[in-house]
A and B are shown apart, each in its own frame.
Chain A
Amino acid sequence: MSALTGEDAPPQAPRQHYLNVTYGVRSWLLTLDHKRIGLLYLASITVFFLLGGMFAVMIRAELVTPAGDLLQAETYNKMFTMHGLVMVFFFLIPSIPAALGNFLIPLMIGARDLAFPRLNLLSWYVFIVGGLFTLFAVVQGGVDTGWTFYTPYSSTYSNSAVAATAVGVFITGFSSVLTGLNFIVTIHKMRAPGLTWFRLPLFVWAHYATSLIMVLGTPVLTAAVVLVALEHLLGIGIFDPKLGGDPVLFQHLFWFYSHPAVYIMILPSMGVVSEVISCFSRKRIFGYKVIAFSSLAIAVLGFLVWGHHMFVSGQSVYAGMIFSFLSFFVAIPSAIKVFNWTATLYKGSISYDTPMMYAMGFIGLFTIGGLTGLFLASLAVDVHVHDTYFVVAHFHYIMVGGALMGYMAAIHFWWPKISGRMYPEGWGRFSALVIFIGFNLTFFPQFILGYLGMPRRYHAYPDEFQVLNVMSTAGATILGVGYLIPLIYLIWSMRYGPRAGSNPWKAKGLEWETTSPPPTENFLTTPLVTEEAYAYAAPDVEEQEGARVG
């Protein structure tokens, strides 16, 4: 399995790399190396993922029986609120961009670091401060508004720790903006010689589109949070009808950010899938430019469709029709991506390594998630399924089946680069299968529940919904196990995994031309790019001239 022709010697780790160049807590907490900052993010979001997962366990355990008997209603409401908050703001939004994007973008474009390394470290600290406020809210007794914070419940009626949570979300927003800004400048200004825009890996294109949303969308959420605070503290009538405000205005502001935020979560995963699919079919990606532009199209269209969350909110019938019309347009770039990925497999040389298993899982589940989005964009059907489990199922297919599958693909694909070691492949494939099965068993029954009419955020429910809920909880149990397996073997592999070598997948892309793990400065000499991305048909660089570094 050696990556080098005619050599059977096992790959060796480079003598010095970013992990062993310095030691000690200080060297990590004050690091300006984008790779170490990426790992700081990776560790923090893993903690948040486990926390969010524990809330999910409580939710699914409660819903095994129709009566609200395990938790009190108030506790249950806090569980689903904090599950949503933690998973959205502290796991999914930072997941691929802040952890892996941070690590990979400079490597992929042949740069030494991001454009603003200090800003990068600051954004992690801002993220942590925001996270601590939210954890403080949990300790204070939690928050029960739903992650959507709808007014006037959140601003006037809830007795839970809304303020601390809102401050947490407010602060975390700045971390997103800083990361997005850093990526945009880096991608514009720091590409290696010869790396033109249309030679960029699609992972970088996806992050460019994501960063645009982060920079343009997040301030609106921040503004909405500030307005809630102003109303709460100074009694200025903005959302509360008793003060002359309009509660629906909050929904407009919230979804103006939070719908595009869905694309912050899914676009980076789409970038990952483009990399993985082409690597494991050893094929140039089919329709490179179309995929690149469809990412931008999704980013732009994402800002025009927020009103589809509000078809039954009392907004005008005509506004509903326009938002429905525009929402359908998002289906087109999404469909284009799916077709192009599938076409990339055609006449490829396909291997079934773990990242590829996740990427194929992504395509399938994202297809279902995307198509069920059509139900929600169609006005008459949405009236029935809005705020039911159908919506819950749909967005979990996108966010877990899509975004999280992409994240898992990415972790496995770049793990050799990050850690310098291989994870156990058999366990990797096994857990990918477990996750796929567990996921579908958890969320598919929820589509049926939703059309039957079970509203979301229900602590207790009528008896006839029990069977489907039990199935869902059974699936969630399998899913939970599926996530724990990689957590164990990845940690194990950091010490005991076989050495990876600089390019274990024979992948294309600058990040594979440097050592695993890479040196602090990424490349010993500035790389010169002479070919397009995914030039898998061309012979390996290494085969021509031997390994360039290490």
Chain B
Amino acid sequence: MWEFPLFPEQASTIAGGVDSLYLFLVGLTAFFSVLIFTVIFVFAIIYRRRSDDERPEAIEGSHALEIFWSVVPFVIVMVIFTWGASLYFRNARSPDDAMEVNVVGKQWMWKIQHPEGRREINELHVPIGRPVRLTMTSEDVIHSFYVPAFRIKMDVLPGRYTTAWFEATKAGEFHLFCAEYCGTEHSKMGGKVVVLDPPAYERWVGGEEQGESLADLGARRFIELRCENCHYPGAGERGPSLAGLFGRIVPLEGGGTVEADESYFRESVLNPRAKVVAGFQPVMPTFQGQISEEQLLELIAYVRSLKAPQGEGR
């Protein structure tokens, strides 16, 4: 027990970059702290009061010094800003070939859906060397998906999707935490990310209770909720056809466009009149309260799987 780590494990492709900047900042902090401490200490000794009558001469200040110690910190912080922002910007966009995993947070558990249909609670199994994109939402309050070994964290909000991605580089088990305070059992809302090498992952994902894929579940839901009455393949009277729609830019009634991404689909199901596709009437009823976050994610997986009729897309 009395052995303890001082530095977290690096287990994702971005961890090294974040750590380099961190170590640079540690060095900088150490340098300036030691500098200030030393100067204060040395001055306090050299210029200690030797007699109560001392009246040292006044020194007004120095423009040259003021400029010097404004410009130097300015240059340093701009370097840090650029470094930090460019890493952040690069880490913000997931690679196109990323594997899709859905995460639903609720007090106090993480529910995970794999595209193959496998579900987990408080555990996330992923393969090494494959980017994984997380689409996340919450059923209640704000949570935050945090894997220290990957150096990723993203808040998980009710009412919308947020995304994060990572590519694991090391097999093993890593902490999964909720980082945004979410109520009584906040500190228990965690688990582990299990990183497997690809064959082991294939065995895991193919093993036991291999049920329907997420898209198949979504297809079933699509029929149950009677979505196909209007959005049947080749539709175009009451509602637009959904085939090949995912990821396209859609013109809206009343001008403007929107990218048909997860968030837009979610909004269209729960609040259909918010952004109506050009050429259609706002006749769709809301499904607010009739569909859970997980079912909604299944529907989206289904819509995502619908290929365009002409054979474009994937």
Contact = CB atoms under 8 A, between A and B. Distances in A.
Do A and B associate with each other? Answer: yes
Contacts of A282: 49, 54-56
A345 interface: yes
B84 A381 contact: yes
Contacts of B184: 73-74, 77, 144
Nearest to A368: B33
Nearest to A343: B65
Nearest to B26: A375
Interface string B180-217: 11111111100000000000000000000000000000
B183 A381 contact: no
Nearest to A283: B56
Contacts of A336: 66, 69-70
Interface in B82-141: 83-85, 87-89, 91-92, 107, 140-141
Interface in B260-281: 271
Interface in B32-83: 32-33, 36-37, 39-40, 43-44, 47-50, 54-62, 65-66, 69-70, 73-74, 77-78, 80-81, 83
A301 interface: no
A328 B77 contact: yes
B177 A455 contact: yes
B47 A452 contact: no
A18 interface: no
A284 B83 CA distance: 40
Given A152-B141, A325-B85, A348 B56 contact: yes
A371 B26 CA distance: 9
Interface stretch (A134-142, A384-392, A418-426): A384-392
A422 B83 CA distance: 52
A463 B146 CA distance: 18
A367 B41 CA distance: 14
B29 A536 contact: no
A346 B43 CA distance: 6
Given A248-B157, A537-B56, A451 B84 contact: no
Contacts of B177: 453, 455
A467 B154 CA distance: 28
A387 B36 CA distance: 29
B181 A328 contact: no
Contact of A379 (B44, B88, B175, B188): B88
Given A321-B89, A383-B152, A467-B2, A340 B49 contact: no
Interface string B144-184: 10101101111101111010000000000001011111111
Given A153-B183, A457-B181, A451 B36 contact: no
A380 B91 contact: yes
A288 B62 CA distance: 10
A317 B6 CA distance: 31
Interface string B1-39: 110111110000010011001100100110011001101
B142 interface: yes
A453 B8 contact: yes
Given A68-B187, A375-B25, A388-B179, A317 B59 contact: no
A283 B157 CA distance: 55
Contacts of A346: 43, 47, 59
A312 B153 contact: yes
B17 A241 contact: no
Nearest to B145: A312
A186 B2 CA distance: 58
A466 B56 contact: no
A342 B59 contact: no
Nearest to A80: B181
Contacts of A328: 77-78, 80-81
A451 B66 contact: no
Interface in A321-373: 321, 324-325, 328-329, 331-332, 335-336, 338-340, 342-343, 345-352, 360, 363-364, 367-368, 371-372
Contacts, number: 290
Most B Cβ at <10 Å: residue of A283, A312, A464: A312
Given A312-B153, A350-B49, A380-B84, A463 B179 contact: no
Contacts of B144: 312, 387
A226 B43 CA distance: 52
Contacts of A281: 47, 56
Contacts of B25: 371, 374-375, 378, 381
B70 A349 contact: no
A50 interface: no
A235 to B, nearest CB: 15
Contact of A458 (B21, B37, B80, B187): B187
Contacts of B8: 451-453
Contact of B188 (A246, A320, A460): A460
Interface string A464-507: 11111000000000000000000000000000000000000000
B87 A380 contact: yes
Nearest to B25: A375
A247 interface: yes
Contact of B87 (A158, A335, A349, A379): A379
A209 B175 CA distance: 44
Most B Cβ at <10 Å: residue of A157, A347, A381, A537: A381
A351 B48 contact: yes
A455 to B, nearest CB: 5
A543 B89 CA distance: 65
B6 A448 contact: yes
Contact of A386 (B55, B59, B153, B159): B153
Contacts of A345: 39-40, 43-44, 47
Given A73-B185, A150-B142, A324 B85 contact: yes
Contacts of B158: 152, 241-242, 247
Contacts of B142: 150, 152-153, 247
A459 interface: yes
Interface in A106-161: 144-146, 148, 150, 152-153, 156-158
Nearest to B162: A314
B36 A364 contact: yes
A342 B66 CA distance: 12
Contacts of A157: 107, 140-141, 183
Most A Cβ at <10 Å: residue of B21, B151, B155: B155
Contacts of A242: 158-159
B36 A338 contact: yes
A461 interface: yes
Interface string B236-268: 000000000000000000000000000000000
Contacts of A329: 77
B180 A387 contact: yes
B121 to A, nearest CB: 19
B48 A459 contact: no
A460 B190 CA distance: 11
15 contacts: A150-B141, A241-B157, A284-B60, A311-B88, A312-B153, A328-B80, A336-B69, A345-B44, A349-B50, A377-B80, A380-B151, A381-B21, A453-B146, A464-B4, A467-B1
The 3 A-B residue pairs whose C-beta atoms are closest, nearest first, are A241-B159, A453-B148, A378-B84
Given A282-B49, A321-B88, 8 more contacts: A157-B141, A281-B56, A286-B62, A312-B155, A313-B155, A331-B77, A351-B49, A457-B181
